Chains A and B, each alone.
Chain A
């Protein structure tokens, strides 16, 4: 049982990390987490 819970936790962490990367990439961010990638449209890691 403990193994299943830990497996689910790990899976949850992985899904959350991958989702965040996909969301950032869809927003056009060239670098994940870039503080300047919030512009509408393209990533503006430009300054």
Chain B
């Protein structure tokens, strides 16, 4: 048996899907989280029949009209794949809007069961819905559900209703079929009639105690949090608090304990490997345990950060951030919807890039795909945490600045791209339904945190482990496959590969081959930057800064890596703002569907990362020492060439825009 979950965006479909299937698909308290259909089997604990019930979670849709890609997926599935039953999730707090889509689903001759979700919130608002009357009016069974609850959630009743509905004939209380979909006025007239029908039902079944024009506490909160000017400093404050808790206070506290275990394991293995060949010992101890351990050491910091971000998402705040940012985005030629892929991209760039497919306009979609990887993703967090801890005394502003820097880069880049593509005059409009504020669910935040932790550990145990082993081997041997003697690592395979790149990085303040090698391995997975640094510098514990002293015999951390604080900031920015990992580039390729755009995007990201890093290092060095840094002139020439090339493309784009404007006039 196959049942489709369909309903308006942010009505709680995926939360209900997770609750009845036991899956952990991502949920978010804003519309448009799901963009592809997902399948799962109903859990045995609530499925009392012998038959398997497969549930398909569909992206949210306001109507059966294919306005967006995700609405199209829903429409095509419901119309062509003939599910046995449609479970229509109706938001009990917004009945009138939800029933428009319901009335269309009822016309498909497929049995419908309505899950009146969020009924707890409706009751809290003192909204009373006559379930029996609603069921009678619509001609289908209506079941109250609260999918966020683990008990008394109505899910058992829902499953029973689904089983009973299979094979039943479904009558449509409103017949809107036979309208010529190509005739706009006929469609609009039918929509008006449908709204009247829905309004009639709502008037009969719903009783609201709270007047809709009364200003609620939620409205008052929005006056500050979603305010066009106040919203920005508030967002900065929130991000600062998130970084302060995750990277300075609770995160390191937990990390210390965790790293202590890793160190203990390292010491135990070291004793055990006494008398083993130095090469094997180096691979196992420094490459595998040391390299992976250095990355995994940041796990507690990342878990705390994702826990806090999940709370922010769940309480409805992130949707307000989208609204605050929208006014900037539409002025720079992006879609207001572009903010959603970017927020998702803070977790991982790949789902972020894929979320851009909800944007209809092709140029805006491709631009969003190009710019989303600029947001620091979870994989980049260990790099941020390492440099924040080592060079900036764990100051929370350093991590927060990276996010705001990313936003600035996105704004500037979008502006440039809109000019290059000749779309400088285009404007877009974004309507997003703001979800209600709610107390965030600790359970959902914990699930999100452990999902991210699991992903991090799997990545560390696979890609990062293999990369670190390869790095260790390449550092151990030279091109003649002879062991490098201590102190002659400069002749190793790794040094030989990384050195030519290191020369290009001198104007950015980090011309050491070790740092270049770490950046290169970062393209396999960004966490590799930390892992490789651990291997090449022989440091297994980045959390405990005293270890640096032991390794180098110097009290200065800068002495080990050969970096000043300014150069360290430059290196951090280079790793954050150059192209993402290969997997994310693959996702960009499939979403852009255009090789010219893809290569343009990679070149642009390289150019942007190089320029930002160059400016950071040179200006910073000038301010701190009174003279520009190393390689100023060659670097300036390279940056000037990139800017000249961009200016030429912008000029060509402006001509195209002027021609378009003249044609439309």
**CA–CA, A46 and B350, complex, Å:** 8
The answer to whether B583 touches A31, judged by C-beta atoms less than 8 angstroms apart, is yes
- On chain B, the residues within 8 Å of A35 by CB distance are 24, 26, 451-452, 454-455
How many B residues have CB within 8 A of the partner chain? 45
**CA–CA, A47 and B462, complex, Å:** 24
The answer to whether A14 touches B469, judged by C-beta atoms less than 8 angstroms apart, is yes
- On chain A, the residues within 8 Å of B355 by CB distance are 46-47
- On chain A, the residues within 8 Å of B459 by CB distance are 31-33
From the candidates B35, B350, B465, B466, name the one contacting A34 in the complex (CB within 8 A).
B350
B39 interface hit (Cβ, 8 Å):
yes
Q: Could you tell me the dominant secondary structure of chain B's interface residues?
A: helix
The answer to whether A10 touches B288, judged by C-beta atoms less than 8 angstroms apart, is yes
Q: Could you tell me the dominant secondary structure of chain A's interface residues?
A: loop
The answer to whether A9 touches B284, judged by C-beta atoms less than 8 angstroms apart, is yes
Once A6-B280, A33-B455 are accepted as A-B contacts, the answer to whether A47 and B14 lie under 8 Å apart by CB is yes
The contact string, 1 if C-beta is below 8 Å from chain A, for chain B 317-352, is 000000000000000000000000000100010110
From the candidates A7, A18, A31, name the one contacting B348 in the complex (CB within 8 A).
A31
**CA–CA, A9 and B284, complex, Å:** 9
Once A6-B280, A10-B288 are accepted as A-B contacts, the answer to whether A45 and B351 lie under 8 Å apart by CB is yes
The contact string, 1 if C-beta is below 8 Å from chain B, for chain A 19-34, is 0110010000011111
**CA–CA, A34 and B347, complex, Å:** 10
The answer to whether A47 touches B25, judged by C-beta atoms less than 8 angstroms apart, is yes
B273 interface hit (Cβ, 8 Å):
yes
From the candidates A10, A17, A21, A46, name the one contacting B351 in the complex (CB within 8 A).
A46
- On chain A, the residues within 8 Å of B583 by CB distance are 30-32
B409 interface hit (Cβ, 8 Å):
no
The answer to whether A30 touches B586, judged by C-beta atoms less than 8 angstroms apart, is yes
**CA–CA, A6 and B586, complex, Å:** 36
Once A3-B277, A10-B284 are accepted as A-B contacts, the answer to whether A45 and B462 lie under 8 Å apart by CB is no
Once A36-B25, A47-B33 are accepted as A-B contacts, the answer to whether A2 and B275 lie under 8 Å apart by CB is yes
Shortest Cβ distance from residue A19 to the other chain B in the assembled complex, whole angstroms: 9
The answer to whether B24 touches A17, judged by C-beta atoms less than 8 angstroms apart, is no
B587 interface hit (Cβ, 8 Å):
yes
From the candidates A10, A32, A40, A41, name the one contacting B280 in the complex (CB within 8 A).
A10
Q: Which residue from chain B places its CB closest to the CB of A36 in the assembled complex?
A: B26
**CA–CA, A35 and B306, complex, Å:** 13
B463 interface hit (Cβ, 8 Å):
yes
From the candidates A17, A30, A41, name the one contacting B461 in the complex (CB within 8 A).
A17
**CA–CA, A11 and B123, complex, Å:** 60
Once A30-B586, A45-B351 are accepted as A-B contacts, the answer to whether A3 and B461 lie under 8 Å apart by CB is no
**CA–CA, A12 and B26, complex, Å:** 34
Once A33-B459, A35-B24, A47-B25 are accepted as A-B contacts, the answer to whether A2 and B452 lie under 8 Å apart by CB is no
- On chain B, the residues within 8 Å of A13 by CB distance are 288, 465
How many A residues have CB within 8 A of the partner chain? 29
- On chain B, the residues within 8 Å of A32 by CB distance are 458-459, 462-463, 583
- On chain A, the residues within 8 Å of B469 by CB distance are 10, 14
**CA–CA, A41 and B56, complex, Å:** 13
The answer to whether A46 touches B35, judged by C-beta atoms less than 8 angstroms apart, is yes
- On chain B, the residues within 8 Å of A30 by CB distance are 350, 583, 586-587
Shortest Cβ distance from residue B472 to the other chain A in the assembled complex, whole angstroms: 11
**CA–CA, A36 and B35, complex, Å:** 13
From the candidates A10, A24, A40, name the one contacting B283 in the complex (CB within 8 A).
A10
Once A39-B38, A47-B355 are accepted as A-B contacts, the answer to whether A33 and B277 lie under 8 Å apart by CB is no
From the candidates A9, A21, A41, name the one contacting B463 in the complex (CB within 8 A).
A21
- On chain A, the residues within 8 Å of B584 by CB distance are 31
The answer to whether B455 touches A47, judged by C-beta atoms less than 8 angstroms apart, is no
The answer to whether A44 touches B348, judged by C-beta atoms less than 8 angstroms apart, is no
Shortest Cβ distance from residue B181 to the other chain A in the assembled complex, whole angstroms: 28
B23 interface hit (Cβ, 8 Å):
yes
- On chain B, the residues within 8 Å of A36 by CB distance are 25-26, 351, 451
Q: Which residue from chain B places its CB closest to the CB of A41 in the assembled complex?
A: B39
**CA–CA, A41 and B469, complex, Å:** 32
B532 interface hit (Cβ, 8 Å):
no
**CA–CA, A47 and B348, complex, Å:** 10
The answer to whether B35 touches A47, judged by C-beta atoms less than 8 angstroms apart, is yes
Once A10-B283, A21-B463, A30-B583 are accepted as A-B contacts, the answer to whether A47 and B275 lie under 8 Å apart by CB is no
The residue among B14, B344, B351 with the most chain A CB atoms within 10 A of its own CB is B351
The answer to whether B462 touches A21, judged by C-beta atoms less than 8 angstroms apart, is yes
- On chain B, the residues within 8 Å of A34 by CB distance are 348, 350-351, 455
- On chain A, the residues within 8 Å of B14 by CB distance are 47
The residue among A9, A30, A31, A47 with the most chain B CB atoms within 10 A of its own CB is A47
Shortest Cβ distance from residue A28 to the other chain B in the assembled complex, whole angstroms: 12
The answer to whether A31 touches B350, judged by C-beta atoms less than 8 angstroms apart, is yes
Shortest Cβ distance from residue B272 to the other chain A in the assembled complex, whole angstroms: 9
From the candidates A18, A20, A39, A45, name the one contacting B39 in the complex (CB within 8 A).
A39
- On chain A, the residues within 8 Å of B283 by CB distance are 10
B506 interface hit (Cβ, 8 Å):
no
Q: Which residue from chain A places its CB closest to the CB of B283 in the assembled complex?
A: A10
- On chain A, the residues within 8 Å of B614 by CB distance are none
The answer to whether B354 touches A6, judged by C-beta atoms less than 8 angstroms apart, is no
- On chain B, the residues within 8 Å of A6 by CB distance are 273, 276-277, 280-281, 284
- Besides A45-B350, A47-B35, 14 more A-B contacts (Cβ < 8 Å) are A10-B283, A10-B469, A13-B288, A14-B466, A20-B458, A32-B583, A33-B457, A35-B24, A38-B23, A39-B25, A40-B39, A46-B355, A47-B33, A47-B344
26 A-B pairs within 8 Å (CB atoms) are namely: A2-B276, A3-B280, A6-B276, A6-B284, A7-B280, A17-B461, A17-B463, A17-B465, A24-B458, A24-B462, A30-B586, A31-B583, A32-B459, A32-B463, A33-B455, A33-B462, A35-B24, A36-B26, A38-B23, A39-B25, A39-B39, A44-B36, A46-B355, A47-B25, A47-B28, A47-B344
Task: State the 4 A-B residue pairs at the shortest beta-carbon distance, nearest first.
Answer: A33-B458, A35-B451, A33-B455, A47-B26
